[in-house]
Chains A and B, each alone.
Chain A
């Protein structure tokens, strides 16, 4: 039995979608470039204000709806344009390592948060140990790189080990619900960072050093030379992180649109009713939890190799709360919302050194305010569409 899903009955694309999307991406890329490159507080504030005003205006007028429809009609175009936009920004920033590093960090956090979104936003499993799974990937990659294992294999292993460590928690997560499940993941998150602190084999509080990525002779930590023009080696990482972020986005959208995604929705909204309709709750939760931890571990492994150094205080409970803050700010269940949220939460404190020390406090206040006044986040999850997008 097959009921046509959105993907099957997509409306034919309109010719005007292409220029409209190109215009939007160009504007966003220009904004992103300015946002990453500025180090003046006034300009940063102005950019954020412009973004906020543009956001509100787009929501009020028909612009946001227009883009939503264009994206729904031609999802591949959206992904391709996003890739072009990020590469253009990277090209414009090619000789400035620090903004490039921030761009990579944002994209890797997007990957990890998409993982958490599959768990929390789609399937309703609360996970307050995101940083622990991120850290599992990072430490696995570090240990394997030290043993001389090929880096690609090490990164994939990081993701797999994160999923395996997650499987230790599957039984507790399946048997508990709501607050109790939250407690289990909180306890695990704290256990993980405490364990890293006291365990000497993994470097203890001093942490571990890692080499840069080397993929079949493609050395990531060497500056790039293209036709005489040289670029910072972080461009390599931008390409990799971009591929991962887009891959994770497309993957999460596919999962969401498949029967697995429908099952997740049913389990999240009402477990009892879902079970009464014959949906395997345990199976759905295991799939969501494992996929999410896999993505967290993957992001963590690449992040570790990019940073070249990891320590337990990169992966504390506070960091897990930051990942959840990104999710809440972006709008839970909508992977698209994660991107602006990650940009704000990661880049702004890096730019404003004087608030760096206060960032946990500010995020806490930010999330409290969002929950009180706009619990659906910046970009609320759209209602699932089963029928063609209107023309």
Chain B
């Protein structure tokens, strides 16, 4: 195959990987502090994209047209709105069910995902159809043979990686991060040490969900289209990526995200069947990977107190 086309595929895969990694980091953070899976996380990404879209339309209506400013305001709006949503989810849906069986938490977040999807489908104007997402970034491009390096996707790639890097920095290097890691390691002891457990949980959910909001903006800017049901796929793949990398580890989530993007890209290039089967392939890979390594490639050592 032509090296230019190959490079194009690799670059697209990388882009997909960044989005998956951003989603997976959220899953891993939540699992770290509360040992729960927030199954609506993919739909939070979708909601973030729609908040960004609505903000853009509002700015457009007000006549604000400074390109750089618009994209920053839009991304901030999505991140803040999703941070708030994440904290609310933690406060009113996840924390109250801490004593209940894990099945209940699973179900309540799954149903929340369904609620978010339906809210967008029913109440966003014409929400049941894919919505065009504006191109807010400069679209200059360089051609290297068959490989087109576009400025906007490069910016998205860098911004995506930078946000993950910042979140990692917060978790590893700040006092807040220390508290998050303490709660993740042993919430009882952390509480004894004077850490406000509920506050840390809410903040963690806010951080993870803000990341999801930005992921939604990146998704929208990359595909130039958002639909109400993208969250289902993103959630399942993000969770699988987090699991494959080992739940609770941020680096694992990043590796898992890129691994999944690589598998999907290879699948779409190498498989003889039509590209319509892309998602079928992705979900089959999820099932097979989960069977092969039920607790991730970097398996966590498990022991159980009976």
Tell me the A residues contacting B by CB distance below 8 Å: 120, 124, 126, 128, 169, 171-172, 175-180, 182-184, 186-188, 190-191, 194-195, 198, 270, 272-273, 276, 317-318, 321, 324-325, 328, 357-358, 360-361, 363-365, 367-368, 371-372, 375
Contact = CB atoms under 8 A, between A and B. Distances in A.
Interface stretch (B16-24, B51-59, B101-109): B101-109
Grouping DSSP codes into helix (H, G, I), strand (E, B) and loop, the B interface class, with mixed when no group exceeds half, is helix
A368 B108 contact: yes
A360 B91 CA distance: 24
B294 A180 contact: yes
Given A179-B106, A180-B295, A187 B287 contact: yes
Interface stretch (B3-11, B60-68, B112-120): B112-120
Contacts of B112: 364, 368
Interface in B207-238: 232-233, 236
Contacts of A364: 111-112, 114-115, 118
21 contacts: A177-B294, A178-B103, A182-B37, A186-B39, A190-B232, A190-B236, A190-B279, A191-B280, A194-B283, A198-B277, A270-B306, A272-B306, A321-B111, A324-B107, A357-B122, A360-B117, A361-B114, A363-B111, A368-B115, A372-B97, A375-B104
B108 A172 contact: no
Given A188-B283, A273-B306, A321 B114 contact: yes
B115 A182 contact: no
The 5 tightest CB contacts between A and B, nearest first, are A361-B118, A191-B283, A364-B115, A198-B276, A172-B291
Interface string B280-296: 10011011001100110
Given A198-B277, A324-B107, 8 more contacts: A128-B110, A183-B236, A276-B306, A317-B232, A318-B114, A365-B115, A368-B93, A371-B111
B20 to A, nearest CB: 15
B297 to A, nearest CB: 14
Contacts of B115: 361, 364-365, 368
A199 B133 CA distance: 30
B236 A186 contact: yes
Nearest to B274: A198
B81 to A, nearest CB: 20
Contacts of B279: 190-191, 194
Nearest to B283: A191
B243 interface: yes
Contact of B290 (A176, A178, A190): A176
Scoring B37, B110, B111, B118 by chain A CB atoms within 10 A of each residue's CB, the highest score goes to B111
Nearest to A175: B294
A57 to B, nearest CB: 28
Contacts of B277: 195, 198
B2 interface: no
Grouping DSSP codes into helix (H, G, I), strand (E, B) and loop, the A interface class, with mixed when no group exceeds half, is helix
Nearest to B27: A179
B103 A126 contact: yes
A367 B114 CA distance: 11
A389 B282 CA distance: 53
Contacts of A372: 93, 96-97, 108
Given A190-B232, A194-B283, A321-B110, A183 B291 contact: no
Interface in B162-206: none
Contacts of B97: 371-372
A369 to B, nearest CB: 10
A252 B157 CA distance: 54
B263 to A, nearest CB: 14
A183 B290 contact: yes
A182 B279 CA distance: 18
A183 B286 contact: yes
Contacts of A175: 290-291, 294
B240 interface: yes
Contact of B243 (A183, A270, A272): A183
Given A180-B243, A375-B100, A187 B107 contact: no
A169 B287 CA distance: 8
B42 to A, nearest CB: 11
B260 interface: no
Nearest to A332: B103
Contacts of B39: 182, 186
B294 A371 contact: no
Contact of B294 (A124, A176, A187, A357): A176
Given A321-B110, A328-B107, A198 B100 contact: no
Contacts of B104: 371, 375
A191 B119 contact: no
B114 A358 contact: no
Contacts of B274: 198
Contacts of B111: 321, 325, 363-364, 367-368, 371
Contacts of B102: 178-179
Interface in B81-101: 93, 96-97, 100
Contacts of B103: 120, 124, 126, 178
B239 interface: yes
A328 B104 CA distance: 9
B230 to A, nearest CB: 12
A340 to B, nearest CB: 19
Nearest to A328: B107
A360 B279 CA distance: 23
Contacts of B290: 172, 175-176, 180, 183-184, 187
Contacts of A272: 304, 306
A317 B100 CA distance: 25
Interface string B111-140: 110110111001000000000000000000
A368 B94 CA distance: 11
A270 B101 CA distance: 12
Contacts of B110: 128, 186, 321
Nearest to B288: A172
B118 A179 contact: no
A321 B40 CA distance: 13
